[in-house]
Amino acid sequence: MIRFANVHDTSMIMDFIGKHWKKNHILSKDKKLFFFQYKDESSLNFVISLTDDKEINGILGFIPFSDNKSDVWLAIWKVKENSKSPILGLELFNFLRNSKENGSIVCSGVNKPILKIYKFLGMNTGQLKHYVLLNNSIKKFQVCVVKRDVRTPIFTRNIENNYNLRYSSEERIDKLYSQIIQSNPIQKSKSYFIKRFFYHPIYKYKVFEIQKSSNTLAIIVFRLITIKNSNLMRIVDYIGNEKYLVNIGGILNQMMINENLEYIDFLSYGFSKNIMEKAGFKLVSANDEDLIIPNYFNPFIQKNIEINFAADTGIAEKLRICIADGDQDRPS
Amino acid sequence: MMKESEILKILQEIFDDIFEENSIKINQSTTSESIEQWDSLNHINLMSAIEIEFDFKFSLSEFMNANNLASIVEIIKYKIS
């Protein structure tokens, strides 16, 4: 039987994750984080498959991101190894898709072999791009690897252009979020955004507004990471027109110097390479051994990685995905 | 019109390619339950190989029903007729 889960299924799902996904996986142990990601009043955002003995043999977790909850990130998708049905996973997916008829389904962080399944389902697939802004004043990098001269031109802050980064708050986001113009077919709702970045049980995010002459034009979210006695900052979400990134290149550069950051990086899809380069960022190639910008910090893995995604959104060229979307940027 | 035996012969080659470490003699009663390695990923590999070999596309419902040889043969016969 396939059905949506409810809170009474919590222990069973967490046990399943620990036994069949990964032993000691944080979502099998940390109920607070589990509820943060998946609990929605009395329901749990999981489709589950049960055997005749009422045991779970497949799960599909999802995270609604729009106001009507019909648009979802797919998260954990796992079928028991000996389930004896090669299509059980697809049945879970179909159950969800049929219940969200007019919505979008997007998944970031897809294992490469699984991309085939999404392609078969007619979804757009691709890889996130990894951009980095290196701190030119750092003599010896601890977190990233820089073996050749890839340092970017220093952008000085141009006071005359009147652009500014303003530290934001839940109250301000509540008032101004709907004014930000977005062309992304993934329209993250205000309530999703506020919960994601102001109420995360473990991670602390810094939410800023990009302003011109005190008018807020876009929202940018950072997460500070300290590792190996070094600091770095990740842009984890961006709401609004990306062209404004060009206007804050100098501000980001100053921020790196002030906070002694090794670098600022941005793992994303759809953001114009031209704009990113004008803002001072370099594109990192996954197979570049001379420029390594890690993505995993707990445990720390000093490697470039590829993050695959699949999306069934209609307007592929306007699609924008950031690293905090879906089940990414989660403690492990 | 291709004969059923000819379809099965081609399918045998596809199964040999995909489940290469195990020699599996297929017949009309073979199902996904009788082949341990026939999991969701190998299902995709099988369906993709069949699509290429017989030059058609499975619909989603056909894809979902194609977890036994009898159904696969019926779908192929219908698609290439």
Residues 53-112 of A with CB under 8 A from B: 79, 81, 84-91, 94
Question: Does A79 sit within 8 Å of B40, measured CB to CB?
Answer: yes
User: What does each C-alpha distance from B2 to B8, B53, B55, B76 come to in angstroms?
Assistant: 10, 13, 13, 10
Number of domains in chain B: 1
Domain count, chain A: 2
Structural domain boundaries enclosing B35: 4-80
CATH classification at residue A243: 3.40.630.30
Instruction: Tell me what pLDDT residue A244 has.
Output: 94
Residue A329, domain member (yes or no): no
- Cα-based distances in Å from A301 to A25, A292, A295: 17, 10, 7
Q: How many A/B residue pairs have CB atoms within 8 Å?
A: 41
- Predicted confidence at residue A160, as pLDDT, reads 55
A137 lies in the same domain as A55: no
**B68: which DSSP letter?**
B
Q: Are residues A154 and A260 located together in one domain of the fold? A: yes
A28, HSE (Cβ side, Cα atoms, 13 Å): 12
Choose the closest CB to A86 out of B43, B48, B60. B43
The verdict on residue A119 lying in a domain is: no
**Residues in chain A closer than 8 A to B33 (CB atoms):** 84-85
Residues A163 and A257 in one domain: yes
pLDDT at residue B22, rounded to an integer: 64
| B30-81 residue pLDDT tens | 999 888 888 888 899 999 999 999 999 998 889 988 999 999 999 999 999 8
Cα-based distances in Å from A140 to A135, A230, A279, A302: 10, 10, 23, 15
Q: Are A184 and A47 found together in one domain? A: no
Same domain, residue pair A136 and A56: no
Q: Please answer yes or no on whether B41 and A87 come within 8 Å at the CB atom.
A: no
CB contact under 8 A, B40 and A91: no
Q: To the nearest 10°, the Cα dihedral for A250, A278, A107, B61?
A: 160
Say if residue A89 is in the same domain as residue A171: no
The answer on A311 and A186 residing in a single domain is yes
What CATH code is carried by the domain that includes residue B69?
Answer: 1.10.1200.10
Residue A307 contacts residue A328 (beta carbons within 8 Å): yes
The shortest CB-CB distance from B67 to any of A86, A114, A121 is to A86
Cα dist. A146→A13, A129, A250, A285, A307 in Å? 42, 18, 21, 13, 21
Q: Which of A79, A84, A88, A112 to mutate to test the interface with B (most CBs of B within 10 A)?
A: A84
Task: Give which of A217, A268, A222, A269 is closest to A244, Cα–Cα.
Answer: A217
Residues of B with CB under 8 A from a CB of A: 32-33, 38-45, 47-48, 60, 63-64, 67
Residues A300, A174 within the same domain: yes
Asked if residue A84 and residue A223 are part of one domain, the reply reads: no
Residues A217 and A304 in one domain: yes
pLDDT of residue A252: 93
Residue A226 lies in a domain: yes
Q: Are A87 and B67 in contact (CB < 8 Å)?
A: yes
Indicate whether A118 belongs to any domain: no
> In degrees to the nearest 10, what's the CA dihedral of A114, A119, A123, A129?
60
Q: What is the pLDDT of residue A86?
A: 87
Task: Judge whether A220 and A208 are in contact, CB under 8 Å.
Answer: yes
Residue among A225, A238, A236 nearest A328 (CA): A236
* Series of mean pLDDT values for 10-residue runs along chain A (332 residues): 96 97 95 96 94 94 91 93 84 92 90 88 93 91 88 60 92 96 88 97 97 94 95 97 93 92 96 94 93 93 95 84 95 90
Query: Does residue A44 form part of some domain?
Result: yes
- Enumerate the residues of chain A whose CB falls inside 8 A of the CB of residue B32: 84-86
Closest CA to A111 of A131, A84, A89: A89
* Residue A215 included in any domain: yes
* Per-residue model confidence (pLDDT) at position A83: 76
Domain that holds residue A18: 2-103
Domain boundary among A87, A103, A119: A103
SS3 B31: strand
Question: Tell me, what's the pLDDT at A157?
Answer: 57
Do A22 and A60 belong to one domain? yes
pTM: 0.90
Q: Tell me, yes or no, whether A176 lies in a domain.
A: yes
Element (H, E) at B45: helix B40-54
Model pLDDT for residues A179-216, shown as the tens digit of each residue: 998 888 889 999 999 999 999 999 999 999 999 988 99
| Residues A156 and A305 reside in one and the same domain | yes
